[in-house]
Structure 1
């Protein structure tokens, strides 16, 4: 059976799609799975051993310049690649009009969330079959429901298995905490003073702290936080996902605001504490065995709460 998955973005959403891939591989031995994704996130599915082929689609850039010659060339090349294969099933777990339209470039029956389940109900009109999922469940479970419904196997009751394989890299032997201080929405940020207080407490416990950034503004903020903390703290330069995944895989623990990298850390099996200020962790929190979510909508977890949660995950053994 040859299946095409369409989950294009963003980083956290792509990570949340991984346990469904693990389910499919376990429940349908011999299945061949391709994944269509934005180029910026292509390294994530490529790290899952059950993915046969990663197909990049630069949809965001195409939508910014719909009449550009490069856009039409890109769409034409994607269509040519997709039509080389006749898929037994195409599954759009994004549930958006744009993802459904791109999925229709491929050859095969197209499934996706039904009208009540899709993020954009109009997308459901483009599917050959709509599948129900519950908005009361976490995004990981909603994706797993779609996979089970599309392939006709019972929904596994096990904890999600993200299936990622990554060799730890870049550490000197001392215990490391990767701290994800940055995120795309200002309302999700934790106050810089809280990061400084937390960083000093972690350094006193023998941890080296790494502060990743995705752009110049975030790196400037990381540099200020690192300078205020002092000690063994490093504001990392902008790093590709695969390289950063190696650093995360070797970390003793991770902590961060609601950002895709936080979910990647949990998917890599690192003890993780999520700090939520303007999103509901019941819907899109960190879902893994060694993970703790703090806060929620219109909240601000304290430094002591974060330290207590890290303690539950083994902070006291860090040194």
Structure 2
């Protein structure tokens, strides 16, 4: 059996789709599972051993350069790559017009959300089979229920993201008790005040932990360095790839972050995680895992430092 999953972005959404792979592997142990994903997130499906092929798509980059001949050549290469194999099931768990059109480039029975269940209802017109999945369920559950409906198997399988931490060395990491603080996110209105991070980080230091503050862009790095300057022994590592961040999380006692896909990666790896929400609602897309996972705050009502510290103490008891 050949299955193609279409879940292209964003980081948190891609991570939320990993349990689908584990479910399919349990039900169809001999199946080959391919995954079409945005090139910048391609390392996430590669963390799952049951994904046999990753087909990168670069729509985010292509749409900014549609006047370039090379862009159209790359799009042609992508169409040939995704159409090279006849699949038994092509499953679009994203439910957007963009993802539905990508699924149409593949050969096989194309399955997706019904009009009333898709994030963009027009997407349903491009599938061969559609399924009504409740919109008020968590994204992880919606993905899994859609896959179960499309492939006709029970929906009561245990939750398993199926990924393990890479074992690559991190020479910059000193100490054996890191707490990973994800202070950056895609929108400024989702940020938690730097003063809060400083107070939280000081609480982590007092508990014998080493705060590690990963950062990507220059502005994220400046923010992380300002916070780290207030914390004895805190580390701002060099820019890390997604596999390196997964390796860091595999060594962590605890992860705490704002509304960012990296917090979902911690949950997927069963690392105790606390997610802080300032401007978004966590009910349908918050951190979700088998281990300790807490979503604190809601739009306009971010959690206080004391609340986060109280949950951190509970998490540290779990991870002893």
- Alignment partners' CA distance in 2, 1:202 and 1:280: 26
- Alignment partners' CA distance in 2, 1:136 and 1:142: 9
- Alignment partners' CA distance in 2, 1:253 and 1:152: 38
Query: Quick check: 2:292–2:318 contact (8 Å CA) kept in 1?
Result: no
1:182 and 1:315, CA in 2 relative to 1: closer, same or farther beyond 3 A? Answer: farther
Q: Tell me what 1:234 maps to.
A: 235
Task: Please say if 1:161 is aligned against 2:160.
Answer: yes
The count of residues paired between Structure 1 and Structure 2 equals: 316
Mapping of residues 210-221 of structure 1, within 5 Å? 210-221=212-223
Q: Tell me what 1:82 maps to.
A: 82
Deviates more, 1:167-176 or 1:137-146: 167-176
Q: Kindly state the Cα deviation for residue 293 of structure 1 after the two structures are TM-superposed.
A: 1.2
**Which SS does the other structure have where 1:282 is aligned?**
coil
Q: Kindly state the Cα deviation for residue 172 of structure 1 after the two structures are TM-superposed.
A: 3.6
**RMSD, aligned α-carbons:** 1.5
Q: Which runs of 5+ in 2 are unaligned?
A: none
Q: Tell me what 1:17 maps to.
A: 17
Mapping of residues 213-292 of structure 1, within 5 Å? 213-229=215-231, 231-288=232-289, 289-292=291-294
Q: Kindly state the Cα deviation for residue 70 of structure 1 after the two structures are TM-superposed.
A: 2.0
Q: Kindly state the Cα deviation for residue 316 of structure 1 after the two structures are TM-superposed.
A: 9.4
Q: Kindly state the Cα deviation for residue 245 of structure 1 after the two structures are TM-superposed.
A: 1.0
**Which SS does the other structure have where 2:235 is aligned?**
strand
**Which SS does the other structure have where 2:146 is aligned?**
helix
**Which SS does the other structure have where 1:103 is aligned?**
helix
Q: Which whole-Å deviations, capped at 9, do the CAs of 1:164-203 have from their partners, x for residues lacking one?
A: 0223543444200000000001111110000000111111
Q: Tell me what 2:193 maps to.
A: 191
Q: Kindly state the Cα deviation for residue 83 of structure 1 after the two structures are TM-superposed.
A: 2.1
Q: TM-score scaled by structure 1?
A: 0.96
**Which SS does the other structure have where 1:109 is aligned?**
strand
- Alignment partners' CA distance in 2, 1:293 and 1:193: 20
**Which SS does the other structure have where 1:234 is aligned?**
coil
Q: Tell me what 2:181 maps to.
A: 179
**Which SS does the other structure have where 1:12 is aligned?**
helix
Query: Quick check: 2:166–2:244 contact (8 Å CA) kept in 1?
Result: no
Task: Please say if 1:103 is aligned against 2:96.
Answer: no
Query: Quick check: 1:5–1:36 contact (8 Å CA) kept in 2?
Result: yes
Query: Quick check: 1:219–1:236 contact (8 Å CA) kept in 2?
Result: no
- Alignment partners' CA distance in 1, 2:32 and 2:201: 45
- Alignment partners' CA distance in 1, 2:190 and 2:92: 28
Q: Kindly state the Cα deviation for residue 317 of structure 1 after the two structures are TM-superposed.
A: 7.6
